[in-house]
Amino acid sequence: MSEETKQARSKGLHLEELLLFEIDSDACGVDMDEPEDFTPRLGGLQRKDAIGLPGLSEPQVMRHYSRLARQNYSIDDGIYPLGSCTMKHNPRLNEKMARLPGFADIHPLQPVSSVPGALRLMEALSEKLRLLTGMPAIAMTPRAGAHGELCGMMAIRSALESRGGEAAGRKRILAPESAHGTNPATAAMLGFEVDPIRATSRGEIDFEELRSKLDSSVAAIMITNPNTCGLFETQMIEIADAIHDVGGYLYCDGANFNAILGRVRPGDLGVDAMHINLHKTFSTPHGGGGPGAGPVALSERLASFAPLPCVLSTQDGLRLIETQADAHEHGASPFGRLGAFHGQMGMFTRALTYILSHGGDGLRQVSGDAVLNANYVRASLQDVLEVAFDRICMHEALFSDGTLQADGVSTLDFAKAMIDRGVHPMTMYFPLVVHGAMLIEPTESESKASLDSFISLMRELAQSSAEDKKAFAKAPLHAPRKRLDETKAARKPVLSWRG
Ligand SMILES: *Cc1c(COP(=O)(O)O)cnc(C)c1O
């Protein structure tokens, strides 16, 4: 972008921004002496040309990032109704606790004897998660939900291998068609084969079809509950019994735990492994790729396979177990190690703060309010947008493009029109089982006033789609970027600033 384009595009206080490489000047933020003559010790491999980094002064760098930050939309700006993502308010108390130097400034390689408080915090969080899930063990190290899936499925694979015989050869994983993409991806990554199961017209797993597919070749079923249509799988216990009867395991994708927190313990439903997205349910900030944390709750049958490192409560107090040998001495047989260190300490601190500051009654209210808010949105929009399943939903409301399509407006057009009105769009085109899906998750942290404002905007847009589909096709008019060619961006990514 040229300086002229930048100036032309900056309007009001909406500032266009050049790339760091385009701002490049000869400035330098530091003033260092020329090195004295020295003999390089790189064996002739040292760089011969300039490194090509932009030269910038500190104020130039500060303004660059500050301007970029202003282009960001966050939960602190307004409602962020992305379904399946649980974009709730991040309480500032969590941030305060995470910044306490005793937590913020420790290093994963410092002696264990110098960080007993960190071990206690990890154990305290694990204990609360055990209580909330009704499951006996928590693997703390996974860095995200998808990583947690990998962890849980590796524990399942190890359990099957340790049983030996026919169990070790089981390759099939059953997963509903509406599953989040990470479920089949995880299974495939571990060498399993994924066999999809259809949904019924009520939006739940077709139990008859599932039962017809069950035999001793099935390693596990992966189910999301509440599912990605925002509905509770009412036959969960029957499903658990059926898979256990053929010697398989039940993996539950716990991304939607926010809807049942403090009300349902997945362990009571027969779940063997379930990841918990701390960054969804327990309010730690997320977006833009991280950081997240995806601890995995494990049943009695899988607990001993939890990965290293782990914190164990022993007679001598809490111990950090780092090696297989040490684990074996304590009766565990970890499937291995998932990452270098112990997990996302900052997220652990925030999640535990969230849990303690809410208390048991507060956490129950979280799920109650989340479900109430979603049903308020569903009921307030159902005469202008087509609900995908006409029944009470859990923490998210799912609509199809039925009425919009009739007006010649697509889900994408609708989302772009929302941007023009200053509202972040909902999740689009997911789950795949619903045509032109619009998945709205308000979360419990939106007030009634904020929901009413969102609803009135959505109603206005839905009603105007019948009159003026052309306007929708042109949206967004006011965003700094219009309709990007996302397919081209994915297929032919331009990764160098020179183009
Ligand atoms: C968010 C989500 C995941 C993946 O979690 P990440 O933390 O983003 O890796 C998996 N399944 C469902 C249903 C989700 O909503």
Atom of ligand 1 nearest to the CA of 147: 9
C-beta 253 within 6 A of ligand 1: yes
Indicate which atom in ligand 1 lies nearest the CA of residue 149: 10
The maximal CA–CA distance of the chain, rounded, in angstroms, is: 79
pLDDT of residue 184: 97
pLDDT for the residue 4: 87
CA of 435 to the centre of ligand 1 (A): 21
Choice from 82, 178, 231, 253 to test ligand 1 binding pocket (greatest atom count within 8 A of CB) = 253
Q: One digit per residue, pLDDT tens: the chain, 499 residues?
A: 888 888 888 887 778 899 998 888 877 777 888 889 988 899 999 888 888 888 898 899 999 999 998 888 899 999 999 999 999 999 999 999 999 999 999 999 999 999 999 999 999 999 999 999 999 999 999 999 999 999 999 999 999 999 999 999 999 999 999 999 999 999 999 999 999 999 999 999 999 999 999 999 999 999 999 999 999 999 999 999 999 999 999 999 999 999 999 999 999 999 999 999 999 999 999 876 568 999 999 999 999 999 999 998 888 899 999 999 999 999 999 999 998 899 999 999 999 999 999 999 999 999 999 999 999 999 999 999 999 999 999 999 999 999 999 999 999 999 999 999 999 999 999 999 999 999 999 999 999 999 999 999 999 999 999 888 899 999 999 888 889 998 999 999 988 877 4
Helix axis angle for 182-189 and 145-163, nearest 10°, is 40
**pLDDT computed for residue 318 by the predictor:** 92
430, 439 in Cβ contact below 8 A?
yes
Ligand 1, atom 2: nearest CA belongs to which residue?
Answer: 255
**Rounded CA gap, 153 and 249, in Å?**
9
Question: Which of 298, 299, 295, 329 has the alpha carbon at shortest distance from 314?
Answer: 329
Distance 292 CA to ligand 1 centre (A): 10
Indicate the SS3 state at residue 126: helix
pLDDT at 290: 64
State the Cα–Cα distance between residues 104 and 362, nearest whole angstrom.
Answer: 27
Amino acid at 455: I
Instruction: Answer whether 230's CB lies under 8 Å from 439's CB.
Output: yes
Query: SS3 helix, strand, coil % of the chain, rounded to 5?
Result: 40, 10, 45
* Ligand 1 neighbour 296 (Cβ under 6 A): no
Q: Using CA atoms, how far apart are residues 94 and 351, in angstroms rounded to an integer? A: 7
Q: Indicate whether residue 231 lines ligand 1 (CB < 6 A).
A: no
The length of the chain, given as a count of residues: 499
CA-closest candidate to residue 225, choices 175, 190, 185:
175
Q: Is the CB of 182 under 6 A from ligand 1?
A: yes
Which is the closest atom of ligand 1 to the Cα of 253?
11
User: Does the Cβ of 146 fall within 6 Å of ligand 1?
Assistant: yes
The answer to whether the CB of 299 is under 6 A from ligand 1 is: no
- Report how far apart, in Å, the C-alpha atoms of 267 and of each of 78, 122, 307, 466 are: 36, 21, 20, 48
For residue 332, the model assigns a pLDDT of 93
The predicted structure's pLDDT at residue 289: 59
Give me 279's structure tokens.
């960054």
The single-letter DSSP state of residue 307 is P
Q: Give me ligand 1 centre to Cα 268, in Å.
A: 22
- Give first-to-last CA distance, the chain, whole Å: 11
Indicate if ligand 1 lies below 6 Å from the C-beta of 154: no
